[in-house]
Chains A and B, each alone.
Chain A
Amino acid sequence: MPVGLILLALVLPLINGALGADLMFPVIVVAIYVMLALGLNIVVGFAGLLDLGFVAFYALGAYVVGWFASTHFNEVSFAFLSALPAQGVSGRELPGIHISFWLLLLVAGAFTALWGIIIGAPTLRLRGDYLAIVTLGFGEIIPRFFVNGDNIFGYNLTNGTIGIKGIDPPGLPFLPNSLNTWRQFGTLDLDPWYYTILILVLVTIFVNIRLRDSRLGRAWVAVREDEAAAAAMGVNTTTTKLWAYALGAVFGGLAGAFYGAFIKSIFPTSFSFNISVLVLCMVILGGMGNIYGVILGAILLQGINFYLLPEVNGWVHAIGDALESPLLSNADIPKYNYFLFGILLVMMMLLRPEGVIPNRQRREELHEGEEDESVVEPTHV
């Protein structure tokens, strides 16, 4: 792994502090999306299973933290290794379930892996368009469940559209008071959050690389290339695909769990179909199957969202003011982000379908025989 980039990531909060910039919040959100994109890359990039419902795992991960680290289940009072302020007299008397975030990360990973298998199992015989439609369906069902889950036979499981609020921060309660930032994971200093997601991202990258080069990684590519031949070579295509769904879902779930704790309030509407598409765009744009490409894709798209579009908005307003054109000075450019992503994606597919940093294999697939055949069959795509 490029050591320079890791070092840069490690000192980023210092740079941010020195510049007096306000970068940490957007950087953390970008990092969450890097994790999501890397998770989806296992399913789409490695195993070649088009998944349009990846947001489901993001939502499930977030709701695990929402359920088990908030006052949501207020009919019980249970705390386990929770980082809630112990000094508060009522700290242990809080209603609801309060389990340590670090433990919940594991729970969220296992829970979403299970759901990856449950959602993956019915799709095993499907390919291409059909697979995409079914995964799309699941991606819609799960947020829909959270919307309507406030009355399951009279029981309020998800609190519906109101969502779950006041989610506990992670915290490291065993630290001395002098390290209060790290003890409490407050909202003013985002460094502990940043380093937490950085570690999660680094672990995700590491696991992705190891999986790619493993026996399972080869089986994924084999199934992607030719399922029947893979089966004839002894690859169990069923378990191979289910592992892709399960492992991809784990990272989606971990990202969701972090997001829930970070943003503190989760609503079903935070997990719309848009996110599935956005993450898929990151994977495709960056270079399907290439770990670094996918990371770059996530950074690029969220960078456009957070930085470029507001910036362009400023420019357009300035131009509008100068020209005295109310149309331009009142324009809301960031509103058109999905429109711009769409254009970007169309352009990429036409000009560089393999992504910014392509996977060697994918490039070969997309440019198959172009040199030999383009003369003979100029219209062949």
Chain B
Amino acid sequence: MSEARKEEVPNIIFEARSITKVFGGLVAVNAVDFYIPQGGIVSLIGPNGAGKTTFFNMVSGLLRPTAGSFFFLGQDVTRLVPHRRAQMGIGRTFQNIRLFGTMSALDNVLTGMHVRLRGGIVGSILGTPGVRREEKEARERAADLLKFVGLRSRETFAKNLPYGDQRRLEIARALASEPKLLLLDEPTAGMNPQETARLTQLIGRLKEEYGISVLLIEHEMRVVMSISDWVTVLDHGEKISEGAPAQVRVDPKVIEAYLGTAMTG
């Protein structure tokens, strides 16, 4: 099945080759092969403890895989530290929101822009025209991004924002680094149905308006099924199924993983 897909989509932006992660004696992720096509929305699903977030943290570089390698834009990035991957164009959000709590919403987004700004120390101290212009443009762009994700309060401290706004601010902050691949870790966790619907729409727009590829971890099946181009299912660290949303939905192995073995043998 996966061979067929490779032929269909020749432009692969990100690829994982037999990634394994062992914590002590526990195999959290076991020899997972995986790829994300250019401009695609790929979802990673699975029951709790399936190794999704571990896999995710390896993609963004916070964890090193025990074995296997990652390729981003054709380059081996397995040994690159997180900030180098961010520079290359991998942006992420966190499952448990990790904003810079006592920075304003705008400053959070500006921090996200860190890798795209050039302003050096001497330039900042002297206030050279170049740095001033860059800062001004960055502020405008940050304000635009806040508007794009639908956030009105700019000066509020991130931690004082309502929950849904914090989730959106995380996306704005990740977008600020101009990622080519955006990793969203349960972006709709804890959201009500309206907020979820709005966010789903937003993720769709990322792909259409910015051409950003998305890797999504999500529990809300309605979201997964409606926006994913491709779904990969992990269970106990192993890839048990992958395919188009409609295929995965009816895969007996997936149903078993989520609901347990059918009682009626």
Of B86, B124, B159, which contacts A234 at CB under 8 A? B86
Majority-rule SS of B interface residues: helix
Instruction: Find out whether the CB atom of B111 lies under 8 angstroms from the CB atom of A232.
Output: no
Instruction: Find out whether the CB atom of B62 lies under 8 angstroms from the CB atom of A235.
Output: no
**Residue A216 lies at the interface, judged by CB distance under 8 Å to chain B:** yes
Would you list which residues of chain A between 59 and 99 have a CB under 8 Å from chain B? none
Q: Which of A19-27, A219-227, A327-335 contacts B (4 or more CB under 8 A)?
A: A219-227
Instruction: Find out whether the CB atom of B100 lies under 8 angstroms from the CB atom of A232.
Output: no
A-side interface size class: 20 to 34
Interface 0/1 of A37-58, CB less than 8 Å to B: 0000000000000000000000
Instruction: Tally inter-chain residue pairs, CB-CB below 8 A.
Output: 109
Instruction: Find out whether the CB atom of B121 lies under 8 angstroms from the CB atom of A232.
Output: no
Give the residue name and chain of the A residue nearest to B107 (CB): A218
A334 to B209, CA, bound (A): 69
Knowing A225-B101, A226-B100, A233-B114, say if A364 contacts B86 (CB, 8 Å). no
Q: Which of B19-27, B91-99, B246-254 contacts A (4 or more CB under 8 A)?
A: B91-99
Knowing A211-B121, A218-B107, A222-B111, say if A232 contacts B102 (CB, 8 Å). no
Knowing A234-B83, A235-B83, say if A221 contacts B103 (CB, 8 Å). yes
**Residue A321 lies at the interface, judged by CB distance under 8 Å to chain B:** no
**Residue A365 lies at the interface, judged by CB distance under 8 Å to chain B:** yes
Would you list which residues of chain A between 235 and 280 have a CB under 8 Å from chain B? 235-237, 243, 247
Of A225, A236, A362, A368, which contacts B83 at CB under 8 A? A236
Instruction: Find out whether the CB atom of B125 lies under 8 angstroms from the CB atom of A365.
Output: no
Instruction: Find out whether the CB atom of A243 lies under 8 angstroms from the CB atom of B121.
Output: yes
**Residue A361 lies at the interface, judged by CB distance under 8 Å to chain B:** yes
Instruction: Find out whether the CB atom of A229 lies under 8 angstroms from the CB atom of B99.
Output: yes
**Residue A215 lies at the interface, judged by CB distance under 8 Å to chain B:** yes
A333 to B262, CA, bound (A): 83
A115 to B98, CA, bound (A): 33
B-side interface size class: 35 or more
- Residues of A within 8 Å of B61, CB to CB, are 231-232
Instruction: Find out whether the CB atom of A216 lies under 8 angstroms from the CB atom of B112.
Output: no
Would you list which residues of chain B between 89 and 142 have a CB under 8 Å from chain A? 91-92, 94, 98-103, 107, 110-112, 114-115, 117, 119, 121, 124-127, 131, 135
Would you list which residues of chain B between 152 and 171 have a CB under 8 Å from chain A? 157, 159
B residues within 8 Å of A by Cβ? Answer: 60-62, 81-83, 86-87, 91-92, 94, 98-103, 107, 110-112, 114-115, 117, 119, 121, 124-127, 131, 135, 157, 159, 173-174, 176-177
15 sampled A-B residue pairs with Cβ under 8 A: A210-B126, A215-B114, A215-B117, A216-B121, A218-B110, A226-B99, A226-B100, A229-B98, A230-B111, A231-B82, A233-B114, A233-B115, A234-B86, A234-B114, A235-B115
Task: For the complex of A and B, list the 4 residue pairs with the smallest distance between their C-beta atoms, beginning with the closest.
Answer: A234-B86, A234-B115, A214-B124, A361-B102
